[in-house]
Amino acid sequence: MLTKSEAIARFKESLPPEEAMVEDRIVERDYGWVLFSQSKKYLETRDRKDMQIGSGGTLVEKATGRFIEFGSAHSTEVNLHIYEGGYLDCDNWDLLVTSVARLEEAVDLVDALRLTYVEPELVSGIVWRVPQHYSHSRVRQKLEVVPCRFHLGGAYLCWETLEAMKSSTALRFELVPNQGHCNKA
């Protein structure tokens, strides 16, 4: 179990030489701390041209010491909500649909994830693996036979759709870590 000072020390050690921790910006939760870094030059000058952009902070888990890098697509509060929902427990998820009660609504929900599949194609001696989006009808066809599995990948950018799916009674699903499953048409 890490203390706050241990978490801060580990975070500072992990930073590249040109970065420093933003000392006055720490978000504390029961399970850890969100720490932020910035370019040393910006922290000295406060000149916007020296500012680094694109970081949502790093959560240091109290129990494990694990670092979870948040993206900058969401606010810190939303990032923490995504973390608390378990969506960052794995970087590579599969969506395992276990039952479907209302097929058309389930198709719309899964279709909203914009999932892709790969069908390797041999052209001129080269195997091409170009991701293609599932068509609405292909999603329906897969959902007609459950359980069925789709490769999701990371859940960070689709957590809202997954939350809508959880609150729906049209289907039941689990997120399971991917163990080599590839989407195929």
pLDDT tens digit sequence for 127-169: 998 889 999 999 999 999 999 999 999 999 999 999 999 999 9
Quote the pLDDT of residue 83: 97
Quick check: 183 pLDDT over 80?
A: no
CB < 8 Å & 24+ apart, contacts of 113-121: 113/150, 113/152, 113/158, 113/161, 113/162, 114/158, 115/139, 115/150, 115/151, 115/152, 115/183, 116/183, 117/151, 117/182, 117/183, 117/184, 117/185, 118/182, 118/183, 118/184, 119/184, 119/185
pLDDT tens track for 37-73: 999 999 999 999 999 888 899 999 999 999 999 999 9
pLDDT tens track for 94-135: 999 999 999 999 999 999 999 998 888 888 999 998 889 999
